Structure 1
Amino acid sequence: MFQLVFFTLFTSGLTESQGKEIICNNSDIELSYSFCDSVAHRFSFRLLPCSINEQPWFATIFWIPRSDIVFLRYLLSSWYNGAKLLDIKKDVCSGFDDDYSFCGSLKGETINTTVRFSGLKITLKEGIYTIVLRGFSDHSEENLLMCVNSTLTIKRET
């Protein structure tokens, strides 16, 4: 499922607006996102290749966070054609011995990293997937770093 999160979020685009951005559109898929919080973000995603059928994927993240990232928890909720699929809660940065280079980044510091991944382990059926990803910088889930609402439309089954 972590690969689906990266695939959905880390595609090309740069925005400071709160409007919907179409960031990938081909014969297989259409992918768009918008921020679901009210703060302007300096954030971009890029995913190469822009296809659900080609792997490996290279996801590039450019982000200037508005809070320190010593601790990072994400909550992911997803729906398929309006029906709830799953909820995931995962701690990505714990404060020590973290796997990701952006863990420990400070407020206002530029994060620019590329991650290689492959092996989507689920078959995606034709239809509309809605994915809401919220990132928090505290255990109490009160300090929201970012909220992204993504729509993935599968135009034909993978």
Structure 2
Amino acid sequence: MKEELDKAEFGMFPAQEHCARRLYKCFRKSGTSDLSDMLLSLILLCLLDLVFLENANMYKLCQSSTMEFYYTLCYERSKPIISIEPCASSRQQKMNISLTWIPTMDLHRLLLTVDVWYQSAKVSETRMDICTGVDDEFDFCGKLKGETVHVRLEKGLEKFPPVKGKFTANFNLYAGEEEELVFCATAIGILMI
């Protein structure tokens, strides 16, 4: 296994995808049909992508003889504390995943999107309303900006196919009625079983 993963293997970062969508919406709203303006903006966006890829920090979550987990964040200013224990790929054993985070916005309405890729093929696309303001399942819903959020999940690998290889998951968290991107991360899991 390579000591250092190639950052370009992540594909498109969620922040750039979000930025491209917002740029497209701006052009649509303004009624601009000038392709040269649009092309210039897209070129600038691509240049910013190159700068971002060079500066992205990759963090190791866990490493064992059967698996490795890494992640990178779109916004370093909102860096959460994440842990996975035990770092094992047994289908019978559950992993405890914990996250501690101080949000930079109120958590009244939250939408999470998760795209999962195996090697270079998209295998799952999920969109979940996490906080709606009515009978929310999670106790952090309703927390205010600056309050510490603790999340603890127990998950297993039973949903993953029993294959070796690299899984990549892009997590995007949107807040408010305008669905503003407030947190995003890309996680890589390498199964060696």
TM-score by length of 2: 0.65
More helix by share: 2
Given candidates 111, 120, 126, the residue that maps to 2:149 is 111
Question: Which residue is 2:37 aligned to?
Answer: none
Question: Which residue is 1:150 aligned to?
Answer: 187
Which ranges of structure 2 fall in alignment gaps of 5 or more residues?
1-54
Question: Which residue is 2:5 aligned to?
Answer: none
| Counterparts of residues 1-158 of structure 1 (less than 5 Å) | 18-35=56-73, 37-53=74-90, 55-118=93-156, 120-141=158-179, 143-156=180-193
Question: Which residue is 1:7 aligned to?
Answer: none
Query: 1:18–1:40: 8 Å Cα contact kept in structure 2?
Result: no
1:40 alignment partner, SS class: helix
Cα distance in 1 for residues equivalent to 2:143 and 2:78: 16
Cα distance in 1 for residues equivalent to 2:163 and 2:66: 11
- Structure whose CA Rg is larger: 2
Query: 2:75–2:184: 8 Å Cα contact kept in structure 1?
Result: no
Distance change (3 Å), C-alpha of 1:76 and 1:50: same
How far apart are residue 101 of structure 1 and its match? 1.2
Higher RCO, Cα 8 Å, sep 6+:
1
How far apart are residue 123 of structure 1 and its match? 2.5
Q: Which amino acid aligns with 1:133?
A: F
How far apart are residue 83 of structure 1 and its match? 1.2
Cα distance in 2 for residues equivalent to 1:39 and 1:24: 20
More strand by share: 1
Query: 2:99–2:152: 8 Å Cα contact kept in structure 1?
Result: yes
Deviation per CA, 1:62-113: give whole Å up to 9, x if none: 1001111111111111111111112111101111211111111111100124
Distance change (3 Å), C-alpha of 1:41 and 1:139: same
Q: Which amino acid aligns with 1:48?
A: E
Distance change (3 Å), C-alpha of 1:119 and 1:25: closer
Query: 2:89–2:157: 8 Å Cα contact kept in structure 1?
Result: no
